[in-house]
Structure 1
């Protein structure tokens, strides 16, 4: 069976090295096929010695290569994984955000055909995808970087974030597909009980879910202790997050 790639990106101080270490551990427990795990980062301090780390990909756009300004603080550095070449990686690449919880086998994410597969954004009716988990071929989409470099100002003003830009680009190219419904779920939308039930029952894992995405608040450590991060939302302590996010 051919080797596949699983990667993540960590920069700045929003997420610590422990997020990368736990993601790597979750991947190890949920992959049976041979794979290479790489974390692209601006600071490898604290990342476990057994995890391969590489510098953030350079794409020839000064604002990105310097990792400063809006690119640093609004998630756009994720787009650097479309560099061509992407370091020495070859073949299929599964990108995973560092703040997810893996709840099922990941092998299936390498099976569906398609040039670019991504989560369907739950809160939008258009084509927008959620880039917490997406798959592509290493080095196959350098044209996306060229398109971004050609009008960086327009990209910043026309799209709220990296995922809107990336998924719009692949959609216009006719290359975008979505993971089967239910594989990737939102902690807030699909795991937490609605209304008053949320005050009495902790969040659960929907049947068939392989990845739980934590977007906004709470983050995994918040869910473990029952801290919502929002005054209007109650989160009871979630034992399965504590069990799996390690």
Structure 2
């Protein structure tokens, strides 16, 4: 990515509703600070800034401006592709608030590519990416949001969620690229030992991991306590979460 070293770097996250408390944002900031060298700004797009540490710049989540009666739930991240996101300029690395950073993030800003996202875990032949971690130039892809707004019914019929639509849209433009395999592994698929080893071996950090993604069955505190939200899916406590998921 030419000129990346001279461009301002931003970490973006989103928190809305009451599913995640401010501690998720605070711990995400602390993990990034430990694992990203040099200067960066940390921005949380949120509807409630109470309890979020002062180093984090809290800004409103831009409205998707959808027609009346159409819910924004499941599509909110598309707001990051506004033509002018609160005047921010430079390179943005978006992180879900429930990820756990376990390695250096420096190369996530220097890895070549116009738009980078996690490749689908279960079906690698599909275009779809996982939007827990994606990088882009702020203001460079306003058509992502503009097309969604003007074709919202069509998009909602064709795609399950924003990451499926986003991946398809940028793939058709030849701009979609994926993070190197292993950088952003899934806790569910790559950390938990296969049955029956999961009964006596704890989940591990996959080799080469930078960011462990929590989706589907566990959040970081659940993994630390050895809990899953599906019956008969046993895991032992992942003690390494406490080492990384902290302020």
| 1:199 partnered with 2:204 | no
Which residue of structure 1 aligns with residue 183 of structure 2?
183
Residue number in structure 2 paired with 1:20: 25
Aligned to 2:197, the other structure's residue is in SS state helix
- Asked if the contact 1:58–1:83 (Cα under 8 Å) also holds between the matched residues in 2, the reply is no
CA distance in 1, matches of 2:153, 2:111: 35
Greater displacement, 22-31 / 154-163: 154-163
Helix, strand or coil: the match of 2:206? coil
1:74-113 matched pairs, under 5 angstroms: 74=74, 76-113=75-112
SS of residue paired to 2:41: strand
TM-score by length of 2: 0.93
Q: Distance in 2 between matches of 1:197 and 1:60?
A: 49
**Residue 49 of structure 1: CA displacement?**
2.3
Q: 5+ residue gaps in structure 1?
A: none
Work out whether 1:225 is the aligned partner of 2:230: no
Question: Aligned pair in 2 of structure 1 residues 62, 43: CA closer, same or farther (>3 Å)?
Answer: farther
Cα distance in 2 for residues equivalent to 1:85 and 1:16: 27
5+ residue gaps, structure 2, are none
Q: What is the aligned length? A: 240
Aligned-pair distance for 1:59?
A: 4.5
Contact 2:26 2:53 in 1 (8 A): yes
Residues 64 and 76, structure 2, Cα contact 8 Å, conserved in 1? no
Taking structure 1 as the reference length, what is the TM-score of the superposition?
Answer: 0.94
Q: Which residue pairs with 1:54 in the alignment?
A: 59
The answer (yes or no) to whether the contact 2:66–2:72 under 8 Å persists in 1 is no
After superposition, residues 35-46 of structure 1 pair within 5 angstroms as: 35-46=40-51
Query: Alpha carbon RMSD of aligned pairs, Å?
Result: 1.4
Displacement of 1:232 in angstroms is 2.5
